Structure 1
Amino acid sequence: MRTARLRTAHPVLWAGWAVLAAGAVLCVLGWYGVSGERYAERQLPYLASCTVPGAALIVAGAVLLAQGRGALAAARVEELYGLLVAAAPEGADGPRAAADAPVAVSGEMLMVPGGTLWHRADCPLVAGRTEAVVVDARRVAHGGLEPCPICEPAEETDG
């Protein structure tokens, strides 16, 4: 599933590389012409007709490459967002109900040693982590731990 924007980014990239190559060829031709002339007044035509336009083409090619890669990155982000939206689970009331549902509902509170947050046991941030331990109620009471913003545990603990 490729978007139209992804298809239009490739010609810009190819054009950027072509313009960059043409500028490099002109710069080499200008350098070769200047190097073969002994006097400055004979070198100026090569500078004016090859080297300066070649440098301008190199800059234009770099701008086209940057713009093409930006468009390519934006198209990839849109494509990934479309895949994410298509794969999102829908609840009984549609996608909004699934977004409003709580992330975790467990009553057991855990923390990671050295961490600053306490979580519900089924919070995605601590679920499956073997180093997670039961929350010390004294540490929560003294303000040593903050509730997790993801699972939003209750202010009181059992333990």
Structure 2
Amino acid sequence: MRADRTARTAGASGTARLRALHPMLWAAFASLAVGAVLCVLGWYGVSGERFAERQLPYLASCTVPGAALIVAGTLLLTHGRSVLAAARVEELYGLLVTTEPPAPPERTRTTADGTPLMVPGGTLWHRADCPLVAGKPEAVPADATVLSAQALAPCPICEPERPPEPEGPPPSPAPEP
């Protein structure tokens, strides 16, 4: 399910979601500003009146709605920032974690006849499933003449068995007299 959400937030829809949150933040700032102005107007109106019964209309029409707008703006700002942060975290998660299926595991190189492998310039010969040659494209089947000359040592990790000695060169035909 998380991969599903990540796929939705990645790319163009992720930036669209970030852009859609900005109006909420603008509304929060506007609400805070209007609430502050109403509170100042209410205070100014109340301070100019001597009697409490003449101060009540300023409290009811300016100060109480102003305080309510300040509380609402604070809630909008807090919610908008947390949603914005969550959207950014989801976008980063989508960038860091791919939702594509993992690549198939690398096939182990095998030779049909069990020929050992060697790395050119190396000093060891290996079995095809040895971890030291797994994933190395430069590993090639070891030449039988190199093995018979014992120029390479067997790998101490995979401990390959020595392949059968190659048959000698075919006898050349005897020259006819």
Q: TM-score, normalising length from structure 2?
A: 0.49
Q: Which amino acid aligns with 1:76?
A: R
Q: Does 2:75 match 1:52?
A: no
Give the superposition deviation at 1:31: 0.1
Native 8 Å contact 1:16 1:64 kept in 2: yes
Give the unaligned 5+ runs of structure 1: 95-159
Matched with 1:18 is 30
2:61 aligned with 1:84, yes or no? no
Contact 1:5 1:71 in 2 (8 A): no
User: Normalised by the size of structure 1, how large is the TM-score?
Assistant: 0.54
**Alignment of structure 1 residues 5-154 onto 2, 5 Å:** 5-86=17-98, 90-93=102-105
* 1-structure distance, mates of 2:41, 2:22: 29
Cα distance, 1:9 vs structure 2 = 1.0
CA distance in 2, matches of 1:61, 1:22: 9
Unmatched 5+ stretches in structure 2: 1-10, 107-177
Letter in 2 for 1:62: T
**Letter of the structure 2 residue corresponding to residue 13 of structure 1:** L
CA distance in 1 between partners of 2:105 and 2:31 (Å): 54
Residues 100-124 of structure 1: per-residue CA shift (max 9 Å, x gap): xxxxxxxxxxxxxxxxxxxxxxxxx
Q: Give the percent of matched residue pairs that are identical in Structure 1 and Structure 2.
A: 73
Does the 8 Å contact 1:6/1:71 carry over to 2? no
Aligned residue in 1 for 2:109: none
Larger Rg: 2
User: Does the Cα contact within 8 Å between 1:6 and 1:72 map onto a contact in 2?
Assistant: yes
Distance in structure 2 (CA, Å) of the matches to 1:57 and 1:84:
40
Q: CA deviation at 1:5?
A: 1.8
Q: Distance in 1 between matches of 2:69 and 2:83?
A: 21
Q: Tell me by how many angstroms 1:60 deviates.
A: 0.6
| Equivalent pairs, count | 93
Separation (CA, whole Å) in 2 of partners of 1:62 and 1:49: 21
For residue 56 of structure 1, give the secondary structure of its aligned residue in structure 2.
helix
Deviation of 1:92 (Å): 2.9
Deviation at 1:86, TM superposition (A): 3.8
Which stretches of structure 1, 4 residues or more, deviate above 6 A after TM superposition? none
Letter in 2 for 1:81: Y
CA distance in 1, matches of 2:105, 2:23: 43
